[in-house]
Every structure is written in structure tokens, then in C-alpha cells.
Chains A and B, each alone.
Chain A
Amino acid sequence: MKPKNIRAGFSLVELAVAMSILGLVLAIPILLLRSAEQLQRTRTAQAELEGLARRTLDRIAERLEASGTAVIPQWGGGPGVGTSLVEFQPAIGWAAGATVWGPLERIQLADDPADPDDGVDNDSDGTIDEKRVLWITDVGLPTQRTLVLCGSVRDSLAGELPANGLDDNGNGLIDEAGLVFAFDADSVTVRITLEKRDGSGQVISHTAQRNIAFRN
């Protein structure tokens, strides 16, 4: 009797097919994972920018709404005039028939020391000449203190091209910076544009604005 031909294991072809299927099974979730991760990074970066802009405007509003046009030297510029620096005094009480104003404070846009205004990405963060928003209390006093409200501020507001003398973004202001205060009769509109690169190197930006009414 002729012995039976017994196959012990898989053939090469079978193994190749099996490995291919396994590769596909592993590759699809990895690709999906990478895609989701990319999306998550972008969304997270966008949310961070939105949160940062909102918190910054909240802090600015907290300080400015307790002030009044009488103690803001920059107030009264008229329509179409914006400024990236505002000095003010918050009201702290009432005495002898008049408002008692607190020490001078200032909110301004300033260069980021790590990336001076030279058209180069000195700090290699993917954005060029980004700015910071500074809040300076007790201006001119020995107790003067500077707090950084936020960084990642664009050189110019979204849609605006710098120094061309035009209102490129149609908001009524010309060549405005990434943080701009535009005064009205008894209020101020603050606009800010933040930008950064997400994990994939894509530049994302967010612009926010808030109208702040002076209470005093």
C-alpha cells in the first residue's frame, strides 16, 4: 500500500496570503488612527486658540469695563482709528463727589522677545514675528508689574496686509495689528487674531472680537 502524502503546515502561498490579509487588517486601523490623530491635533490646536482668545478678551474686558472714557488718553480717535495700546484707570470708589480712579494700567501688543520683528521665524515655531499681549499694572510706579495675557498674536489682524494703507479686511480699520482697540462713544471694540502651527505643521488661526462698554 502506498503511504499517504501527509502535509504538515502551510504552503508558502498560503502564508503569503495570510500575511497579506493580516497586514491589511493592521494597516487600516493604523491609517485611520493616524488620520484621526491628525484631525484631533488640528481640532485641539483650534480649540486652544479659541480658548486663549476668549480668555484674553475676558481679561481685557474685566479691566476696561471698570474704567471710563475720561481716563483713557487713546479714546476719541474717531471712526477708522484703531490702536494696539490702551492706557486706563479702573474705578475703585467714590469720594468727595468724584470717582476715585486706581493707578494707571496699560494693555498693549508687544514683540515676543523670542521672535523679534525682523521677518524671520527666530524661534522656529512656524510663525513669523508673532506678538504678545501685555497687561501692565501700576504703570510708572515702583510696584509696576507686567503680565503676559497671551502670545501667538499675529502681526496683523486676519485679512489685513501690513502697511499698504488699505482696509483689506473691510472692518473699517487700516493696517491694524493683530490686537486692535477701536473706540466708540462709550465703548471699545477689541479684535484679536491668534495663529500657530498644529502638530502636522499646518498653520491655523482664530480671530475673535468683543465690544466692551465702559461702566464709569
Chain B
Amino acid sequence: MVAVVITLTGLLVLGSIFHQVAVRVAVEQAANVDERRAFYLADTALSEAMTAVRAGASGNVGSLATPAYLGGGVLWVQATDMGDNRTRLLATALCGSGRAALEAEVQMVFDDPLFKAVLNSKDTLTLNSSVMVDSFDSELGSYASQAVNSNGVHVYANANGDVASNMGVVLNSNATVFGDAIPGPGYSVVFNAGSYVSGSITPAPVAFSFPPIQVPAVAGSSPLVVPDNGSYSLPAGNHGFGALQIGTQSTLVVHGPAKIVCTDFSGGKLGKLVIDATAGPVTIYVQGTYQHISGFVAQPAGGSPMALAFMLTKAQDIIFPAKSKISGAYYGPDTNFTFTSSNEVWGAFAGNRIDMSSSTRFHFDESLMKHWDNQTSSGSDPLDVLVWRRAAVAPALLVRDRRDPFVVLGVAKAALPSPANAWAP
């Protein structure tokens, strides 16, 4: 009997020891897991704050008083505006006994819109004598209806007709710009007799990047030929062609939003490209040669803004015939544009080099910047993470008090918002 009691007591003692060891190990492992979970929650909080910053919000997510709830823990992010589009984000997360804080400094990098100026060239931009530049907004109606201002011999619409170059800007005699003339970094504007710039002539702080054209992957290689005196209509959507040819006195109507990818483009004599952009813009990607024959015009359908852009990927020289009336935007990082006598432009041009005859008139369409902004030009994430590091959890009380976060903060789990619903001003 005694032996049995001794044995059982021994077993009890050993069992108790094993139990205590197991409990201690379990507690230690749980604490370790909580620390990891808190870290991942803090990382998630940072991501949420970055999403908020991308969307134009402050980056604040929840707060110490009202944190966001996720995955059994709570989190919040405090955002501090550091100026120069920089934001410091301090994310804190509590999960079980785990506590973690991460800090990141992020910066929104805004590319210039593709069509930030009526004329924008890599090379030196020379405005020939008596050239006139102003602006209007095709969303508000025709240029003629907005050209109600006068300055000396010129009647103009708005004074946002900027011209820009990554090198110098030269204004020959009597050239007039109702807007800014922006030379590249380290360059200047050269004035000749009677030339005038209504706005700034301060050089750009950085050169325009002329981002490469991202041609969308659109299937289709058959040519689209609108026969002479014929007409054709393209619905909204993406279209792929081989050559796209608008014949003599023919009409092609394109309904936006649309992206058209083709090899060569030819606008025939007295042909028309009618753009209905009431539902969205029209972008034509030309991977081969662009040909603009005398009398070819692009024009908006009734009530539509002139939201048309040609994206020219090939290095080429484009010469607009005399008396051409050119509407829309043209972007060709390796294209040289030449405007011959009596040309008039309603839109914007960005290219390698831009030459013009005297008295050419340029009217910048201000609505273009809305349709082809920096997002569609480069397609890159505008948010740069400048620095990332672990930070001290604050207030320090949270480190000392390792009880359940909902108890420590005095909040009810059911009353807390999700991170996406916790964006704060």
C-alpha cells in the first residue's frame, strides 16, 4: 500500500512538472506568435495607409482612441505631412500580447501630364515670326465661342497656352504666347522684336521625361480601309488593325472610349475623322507611318469634346500640308513635326522637334490634360517608399501592459471599423 502511494505521488509530482514545463513553453510560443501577428498587422496597416495616400487621402487610418479591427487585433496609422508630397506613416498594431510599430516615409511622384503644353519638344523650340499661341477648352464649346479677349492685334481665348522645351525656347519677331514659355533646366527664353509671353518664363526644374508609349495588346492585323467617298463607324472599345486608311472625302466615326492600334495611318484628301468622345476619349496608337494628306481633318461630333490623341511610336518626320487644320493631341517622343504655311492647331503636340512656318496659330485644348494624365502615360506606381523601419510602440504603456488589446484600449471589437473604413482626414 505504501509503495503504491509513493509511486502515485511520484507520478503526480512528475506530471505536475511536465505540465508546468508544457504550459511555460505554450505561453512562450503564444507570445512569440502574437508578436509576429502584431508585426504583420502593422505591415498591413502601412499598406492600407499607402493605399489611402495613393487615393489622395491623408494616410491616417483609425486612431489610438478608435483603431481599426483586423484579424483578431487592432491597428491604426498616424500620418504626418512632411511637405514636398512626402508623408510619414507610423503604423501601430496590437494582437494578443504582441505589439509592433512600423514607420515608413512615402512620397507621391506626379509625372507631368503627357499634354501639359500646346507645344513640348525635346529639342530647341523656335516659334517663328507672328506665331500666336493661346488656349481654350473643347469641353466648353468651340474655340471661336471662347475667343473673346483681345491684346493688341490678337484676339484670343484663354492664357493657358504654354509652350515648353527641354532646351531653349526662341521667340522670333512678333511671336506671341498667351501662357508660359518654359525652357528646360539651365536654358532660357530668347525674345526678338515684338515677341511677347503673357506668363512665366522660368525654366522647368527637371526635364520632361517623354515616357515611352505603352501600346496596349489588342488583337487584329487586318487593314481597315474606308473607301473614297465612303463612311464607316467604329464602336467604343479596343480595335486592332494593320493599316488604317481613311480614303478621299471619306468619313470614319469613332465612338469613345476607344483604343485603336494600327501599323500605318493615312488621313486621305478631304477625309474626316469624327470623334464622339462624350463617353470617353479616343486614342490611336500608330506603330508605323502617319500620313496627313491635304484637307484631312479630325473633328468632334456634336456636343463632344475633342478628345483624340495619336500616339506615334516610330521615329519619323511628319509634315502637315499647307492650310491644314489640325485638331487633337499628338505624342511622338521620336517624331519631328513640321507645320507649313497657314496651319492652325487646336490641341497639343509633344515630340522630338517642332518646326513651323510664320503666322501658325496654336490653340491649346485644356481638356486634354484630363484625358491623358500621368497615370496613363507611364503606368507606374506614383507612390515611392523612401524609407521603412521598425519603430518604438507608443505610448509606452502599451508595451508594459500586455493584456488583451480591447481591454487595454477600452474598445468593443464589434464597434471598430475595418481598415478600409477607417481612413481619417
Contact = CB atoms under 8 A, between A and B. Distances in A.
Contacts of A62: 390
Interface residues of B, number: 21
Nearest to A29: B7
Pick the most buried of A58, A65, A90, A91: most chain B CB atoms within 10 A of its CB: A91
Interface string B1-30: 001100100110010001001000100110
Contacts of A51: 25, 28-29, 32
Q: What is the interface residue range for chain A against chain B?
A: 20 to 34
Contact of B389 (A33, A40, A90): A90
Majority secondary structure, A binding face: helix
B105 interface: yes
B84 to A, nearest CB: 9
B7 A26 contact: yes
B388 A40 contact: no
A25 B1 CA distance: 11
Contacts of A55: 32
Contact of A215 (B25, B32, B388): B388
Nearest to B88: A94
Given A26-B3, A51-B28, A66 B390 contact: yes
Interface string A7-29: 00000000000000010011001
Interface string A101-139: 000000000000000000000000000000000000000
Contact of B14 (A33, A65, A94, A215): A33
B386 interface: yes
B148 interface: no
A58 B11 CA distance: 38
Contact of A29 (B11, B32, B86, B386): B11
Interface of B is mostly: helix
A213 to B, nearest CB: 10
A204 interface: no
Nearest to A214: B388
A91 B390 CA distance: 9
B387 interface: yes
A47 B25 contact: yes
A66 B102 CA distance: 10
A22 B32 contact: no
A93 B388 contact: no
Given A51-B32, A216-B387, 6 more contacts: A33-B10, A40-B18, A54-B32, A92-B389, A93-B387, A216-B388
Interface of B: 3-4, 7, 10-11, 14, 18, 21, 25, 28-29, 32, 36, 86, 105, 385-390
Identify the 6 closest CB pairs spanning chains A and B, nearest first.
Answer: A215-B388, A94-B105, A94-B387, A66-B389, A94-B386, A91-B387
Interface of A: 22, 25-26, 29-30, 33, 37, 40, 44, 47, 51, 54-55, 58, 62, 65-66, 90-94, 99-100, 215-216
